Structure 1
Amino acid sequence: MNNASFMSDLFSKQSYSSNNFFLIAGPCVVESEELLDEVAAKVSAICKRLEIPYVFKSSYRKANRTSANSFTGIGDEAALQLLKNLGQKYQLPVVSDIHTAQEAALAAGYVDMLQIPAFLCRQTDLLIAAAETGKIVNVKKGQFLSGASMKFAVEKISGAGNNKIMLTERGTTFGYQDLVVDYRNIPVMQENNVPVVMDCTHSLQQPNQTSGVTGGNPQMIETIASAAIATGVDGLFIETHPNPAVAKSDGANMLRLDLLEPLLEKLVRIRKAVI
């Protein structure tokens, strides 16, 4: 795992192997307290057994939906409070997305890490507002950017006085309805001396469907994750749900919860083979 001091602080309440990758995982969006609890209980137990440092992820609101009819959330403060309660219950750090500069201070009162969606990674005001909260800031690489260009996002955040920065690869637009992953972006972004994460689920989205609902290719999650671990990535991002078919957001590319444990077991073996 990347030895940035803030990462050690982030996982101070967990026992883990210092040679392991870390995991950011959870359902795409806060649907209910019951869902959050089911996923957190299952994933935290798996990660504890496998000595994987774990950050719980769920979006308190989904602002970047294709269709106006898509589910966006249960209410900002209600969802944020559920995330805070869950983090305290399971002694886990929690991350959620923000979409505007005004959201940064609100979300920072409830979560440990702020995530910048890929489409918004160049929004200077948003990056600076996130930096000024003092929280860890995870910036997803835009589907339209190279890994090398993400140095400017790092410079914006560090220039605002915050060096607690992570970058996430999530694929590059290929045509109108597909994404491809260029694994060169992992070592290129690591040159910024920040932890780099591979988003194994959003990189398999199939956007711009005429139905207004984004498609996906979840059967390739293992392939994406395995290649990322072999490339030397610091962490993995995997959205997971007990029943993706009924998920209220991104069900087409989430990993079914019962498939996570065998996948992580395999990835731990790959990690041990390449370090």
Structure 2
Amino acid sequence: MKSYLKSLFEQQSYDEDNFFLIAGPCVIESEELLMETADKVVAICKKLGIPYIFKSSYRKANRTSASSFTGIGDEQALQYLQKVGATYSIPTTTDIHAHDEAVMAATYADILQIPAFLCRQTDLLEAAARTGKVVNVKKGQFISGPAMKFAVEKIYKAGNEKVILTDRGNSFGYTDLVVDYRNIPWMQEHGVPVVMDCTHSLQQPNQSSGVTGGNPQLIGTIAKAAIAAGADGIFIETHPNPAVAKSDGANMLRLDLLEDLLTQLVKIRKALQ
């Protein structure tokens, strides 16, 4: 594990041979939602020896419809995110969408996430890098794993070598995605940890209804294959009741199903060692 990841997990007790987990609700809906989710996931990860990063977006900028929920207010949401990190002594991450958001978000979060659609946005990557925080770049749906070397280089040239790359599938027609697991070892060749986003890779975007669809019943399939392919980390958006979630409910994992899935993934990881 890279030293910059180890420093994030220094307050956690975990198996150093395990994968790490990035998980949480898609968007910050309320303080209560964050605390309920974090409390349960922290307990599961402690039991299974999995290092854990809490994730939730303070604002959703990329929405299909103008009427879609975008957030409760930037500062309030970020304060809730920071409270989760302080309460449970875990690192947190959230995504940013423009270069002028980087410094603000870095005040509250330990990792800045770059959305897939923006992975080529040079000023955004450079701004995130200059905060000194770990930068997690999601691979664009339209980009190959080898081509992500350019995103890594931009961050390095801005003076920051703390990078994670996350795969979230590739566009397959207009309304579906497909995962090419070759991208895991290909992106690891760039010398950075590689994560598989097991929920966004199951999205069915661009629906005529204006609401993104999904295939959450396949989350376990995507996750198991990613661990078998050697992924360093797993990304799972989870919610106590995805049916009422205000964003990406169609492809989030129900929170009460998370422990069983992670238990299976730990077994696969151990079998490969």
TM-score bin, normalised by smaller chain: over 0.9
SS in structure 2 of the partner of residue 37 of structure 1:
helix
SS in structure 1 of the partner of residue 142 of structure 2:
coil
- Gaps spanning 5+ residues in structure 2: where? none
In the other structure, the counterpart of 1:149 is 147
In the other structure, the counterpart of 2:84 is 86
- Gaps spanning 5+ residues in structure 1: where? none
Q: Distance in 1 between matches of 2:62 and 2:269?
A: 34
SS in structure 2 of the partner of residue 115 of structure 1:
strand
Alignment equivalent of 1:190, drawn from 183, 188, 191 = 188
In the other structure, the counterpart of 2:179 is 181
SS in structure 2 of the partner of residue 29 of structure 1:
coil
In the other structure, the counterpart of 1:96 is 94
Q: Which amino acid aligns with 2:107?
A: G
Q: Distance in 2 between matches of 1:18 and 1:216?
A: 33
* Alignment map for 1:128-139 (pairs within 5 Å): 128-139=126-137
Q: Which amino acid aligns with 1:139?
A: V
TM-score by length of 2: 1.00
Q: Which amino acid aligns with 1:31?
A: E
Q: Distance in 2 between matches of 1:19 and 1:26?
A: 23
Q: Tell me whether 1:227 sits opposite 2:225 in the alignment.
A: yes
Q: Which amino acid aligns with 1:53?
A: P
In the other structure, the counterpart of 1:61 is 59
Q: Which amino acid aligns with 1:56?
A: F
Q: Distance in 1 between matches of 2:256 and 2:179?
A: 25
Q: Which amino acid aligns with 2:242?
A: P
* Alignment map for 1:201-216 (pairs within 5 Å): 201-216=199-214
In the other structure, the counterpart of 1:161 is 159
Shift of 1:4: 1.0
TM-score by length of 1: 0.99
For each residue in 1:79-116, what CA deviation from the matched residue of structure 2 results, as whole angstroms up to 9, or x when unmatched? Answer: 00000011000101000000000000000000000000
SS in structure 2 of the partner of residue 210 of structure 1:
coil
In the other structure, the counterpart of 1:256 is 254
SS in structure 2 of the partner of residue 252 of structure 1:
helix
Q: Distance in 1 between matches of 2:198 and 2:213?
A: 15
Q: Distance in 1 between matches of 2:146 and 2:69?
A: 34
Q: Distance in 2 between matches of 1:174 and 1:86?
A: 36
For each residue in 1:150-182, what CA deviation from the matched residue of structure 2 results, as whole angstroms up to 9, or x when unmatched? Answer: 000000000101000000000000001100000
Alignment equivalent of 1:107, drawn from 98, 102, 105 = 105
SS in structure 1 of the partner of residue 251 of structure 2:
coil
Shift of 1:247: 0.1
Q: Distance in 2 between matches of 1:222 and 1:106?
A: 35
Cα RMSD (Å) of the superposition? 0.4
Q: Distance in 2 between matches of 1:245 and 1:187?
A: 35
